[in-house]
Structure 1
Amino acid sequence: MDHLILDPENVLPPTRDHPPSHPHRQSLPKANVTKLHPTVSGNENASIFFVGTATTVLEWQGIRIMTDPNFLHAGDHVHLGPGVTGKRVTNPAVDLHDLPRIDAVLLSHYHADHFDRQVEQSLRRDLPIITTPHAKEHLTFQKSREESFSQVYALDFFESMMLDIAPGVQVGDVAEHSKPAIKVTGMPGKHVPSGVLSSMNDLLQAVPPTNGWMVELGVDKGRNRIDSTFECGYRIYISGDTLMVDELKQIPERYKGQNIDLMLIHLGGTRIPSPSVPLLMITMDAKQGLELIRLVNPDLTIPIHYDDYDVFLSPLADFKKVIEEAGLNDKVVYLDRKDEYRFRVKG
């Protein structure tokens, strides 16, 4: 299993060409609204800040992990495949060059509404990126040495790696040899269901392979990597851009008896090639989102990726309606851009 050491004392900005007129921000902007668990709260020590689209910043133990960085503005367009474009209709909560230090990026797939051209050109080349084998190829092998990202880690479905936090940071009242750590595991995901359409997509490469993630925050109680014993204190499932496909049924089977505390679910009902010709849905709509909640059974769900592009045709209002009809209002928290959710990691 790969290990990556993250250092909360690192002071480097996430971008390589930080504008000198903009001093490097030391923290995320103050959230418009801070939300907590609707029934169980207290002693929160971690947070998720919603930037927009599928871009969030997870912060715990001085470490910040950013998901699917997309910082385009309203009116900007992205290329989503042969003959397919999308227009952004919202603005991010913070601009790319105004971000504080970011320690690692979780990139679910190589699609411009998750990793736009501005991001690709601007990020530091040594910023760690955890992604799919397909995206790693584009970020490394298909670029010159100067433009390649130097720390790209590829995880296929159910492959894992450890993000070790540098010595000197402790989690609460724990044993001397315990140290905070984050385990990241690739989860199944598919833009296109199996069958003829999937075979055609494999040939045309119209939409790329995609991952979900299981992010486990906890402590490593071993003295070294050889005898490491990881204990999870909070488990987050990030669906990624996927439809409700059979492969997702493996998730509750593999994590049977292990609580999934939070799910970040990508919605929107994205349809291509365009809003006027919505032939193929490639992300979950409200109905499929409800199915996934029932399948995975997380303690709490936060919807993201729901209204930022004109190709997202299943609005958040549709999801709210099916959640209310299902009697699950106390199992969902809704964030707008620049809102945060705070939670407690046990340890």
Structure 2
Amino acid sequence: MKHITIDPREERAPTRGSSANPPLSLSPAKATKEALLDATTNASLYFIGTATILLEWQGIRILTDPNFLHAGDHVHLGPGVTSQRLTNPAVELHELPRVDLILLSHYHEDHFDKKVEDSLRRDLPIITTPHANHHLAEVKKGDDAFRCVHPLDHFESLFINIAGAGDGQSKQPTIKMTGMPGKHVPPGPAQVLRTTNNLLGMVPPTNGWMVELGYGVPDWGDSTFECRYRIYISGDTLMVDDLKEIPERYKDQKIDLMLIHLGGTAIPHAKAPLLMVTMDAVQGLQLVQLINPELTIPIHYDDYDVFQSPLKDFKHAMEKAGLQGKVVYLDRGDKYLFSVQKS
């Protein structure tokens, strides 16, 4: 079992060449939404835009799929395929407080833009796919290479021990990260397109994630770990058979929250859709019904011009299925507060 240790007491900016004293916290959220729990909230998600979320718990800050481009900027998604951003992020990269870890679903510019790639500290830990690890830690040379990349394949796990959070013997706050399956290219009759993609590298391999917040004895792994709050992040995937293994593996284990990537991303463009590579509203509803989380928060739905399935379609699908009470909608700059129980 893989383990890393992160010390949240070390105040360092996420970007290289920046001040050693980054902001202590994000600017206040536009709106705050809370879980319907009696317990005091002790964890939060801040929606920055597209698939970029800042998760905070026990002093640890985890940033997902960092994309900080602005409206009018373009990303390169493969040979001859570009996309224009239509929105602005809720905060700027340099306005972030200390970030302890990047969780990167795949190596695509709308999830890890070139400015972010050039700017981030090279010793900032990154959990990602083996494909992204190759590009970030192996292809890059010298001072340009990222030095703390941790690749996880599907259903591989890594434990994050939080330094300073306990005495080193008793159970202390711990995060378990597990790669979840995902497919960016549809199965079946799209075999020719998949073969072409393999040659051109237009749509890279992708992961979803299971993020388990809980308590364990450092370096002991599953034998002592007790999950207190479980978050499933779908990543950029379609509704494929591989996802059916998730509820099988987590049978009788509650999934408290799902962050679902929507948008119905079409390439080469929403106006000329040849291939859909992320879930639209119909597939999103199907995933909600398959995973059956306590709550769903949709992200990745309107930031780029390759998205063809608007959020209102997902809202309608959830309402029609009678699931409107099990979803929270966040705008960029909104924060969701929740509680991770200690026992």
User: Under TM normalisation by the shorter chain, which class is it?
Assistant: over 0.9
What's the secondary structure of 2:333's corresponding residue?
coil
TM-score by length of 2: 0.95
Name the residue aligned to 1:192: 185
Once the 2 structures are TM-superposed, how far is the Cα of residue 28 of structure 1 from its aligned partner?
A: 1.4
1:10 aligns with 2:3: no
Name the residue aligned to 1:127: 124
Name the residue aligned to 2:176: 183
| 1:13 counterpart letter in structure 2 | A
Q: Aligned runs of 1:178-327 on 2, under 5 Å? A: 178-195=171-188, 196=191, 197-220=193-216, 222=217, 224-225=219-220, 229-327=224-322
| 2:84 counterpart letter in structure 1 | K
- Does the 8 Å CA contact 1:242/1:284 hold for their aligned counterparts? yes
What's the secondary structure of 1:92's corresponding residue?
coil
1:57 to 19, 43, 54: 54
What's the secondary structure of 2:318's corresponding residue?
helix
- Does the 8 Å CA contact 1:167/1:179 hold for their aligned counterparts? no
- Does the 8 Å CA contact 1:164/1:182 hold for their aligned counterparts? yes
- Does the 8 Å CA contact 1:187/1:213 hold for their aligned counterparts? yes
Structure 2, unpaired ranges of 5+? none
- Deviations for 1:215-246, whole angstroms, at most 9, x for unmatched residues? 000000x3653795100000000000000000
- Deviations for 1:65-114, whole angstroms, at most 9, x for unmatched residues? 00000000000000011111110000000000110000000000000000
What's the secondary structure of 2:264's corresponding residue?
strand
Name the residue aligned to 1:30: 28
Partners of 1:86 and 1:19 lie apart in 2 by 33
- Deviations for 1:183-226, whole angstroms, at most 9, x for unmatched residues? 00000001102241323322322110000000000000x36537
- Does the 8 Å CA contact 1:77/1:85 hold for their aligned counterparts? yes
- Does the 8 Å CA contact 1:41/1:343 hold for their aligned counterparts? no
- Does the 8 Å CA contact 1:286/1:322 hold for their aligned counterparts? yes
- Deviations for 1:299-324, whole angstroms, at most 9, x for unmatched residues? 00000000000111111111111111
Partners of 2:236 and 2:38 lie apart in 1 by 30
2:85 to 72, 85, 88: 88
What's the secondary structure of 1:9's corresponding residue?
coil
Once the 2 structures are TM-superposed, how far is the Cα of residue 140 of structure 1 from its aligned partner?
A: 1.1
Q: Aligned runs of 1:130-149 on 2, under 5 Å? A: 130-149=127-146
Partners of 1:228 and 1:285 lie apart in 2 by 39
Partners of 1:167 and 1:127 lie apart in 2 by 19
1:167 to 1:19, Cα distance in 2 relative to 1, 3 A: closer
CA RMSD of aligned residues (A): 1.7
Structure 1, unpaired ranges of 5+? none
| 1:211 counterpart letter in structure 2 | N
Partners of 2:87 and 2:152 lie apart in 1 by 31
1:72 to 1:227, Cα distance in 2 relative to 1, 3 A: closer
| 1:201 counterpart letter in structure 2 | N
Partners of 1:113 and 1:223 lie apart in 2 by 35
- Does the 8 Å CA contact 1:61/1:169 hold for their aligned counterparts? no
Partners of 2:139 and 2:323 lie apart in 1 by 46
Q: Which segment drifts farther, 269-278 or 304-313?
A: 269-278
Partners of 2:134 and 2:299 lie apart in 1 by 27
2:155 to 153, 158, 161: 158
- Does the 8 Å CA contact 1:19/1:97 hold for their aligned counterparts? no
TM-score by length of 1: 0.94
Once the 2 structures are TM-superposed, how far is the Cα of residue 8 of structure 1 from its aligned partner?
A: 1.5
1:135 to 1:7, Cα distance in 2 relative to 1, 3 A: same
| 1:329 counterpart letter in structure 2 | Q
Partners of 1:167 and 1:30 lie apart in 2 by 27
Partners of 1:239 and 1:340 lie apart in 2 by 19
1:268 to 1:15, Cα distance in 2 relative to 1, 3 A: same
Partners of 1:90 and 1:260 lie apart in 2 by 30
The number of residues matched between the two structures is 339
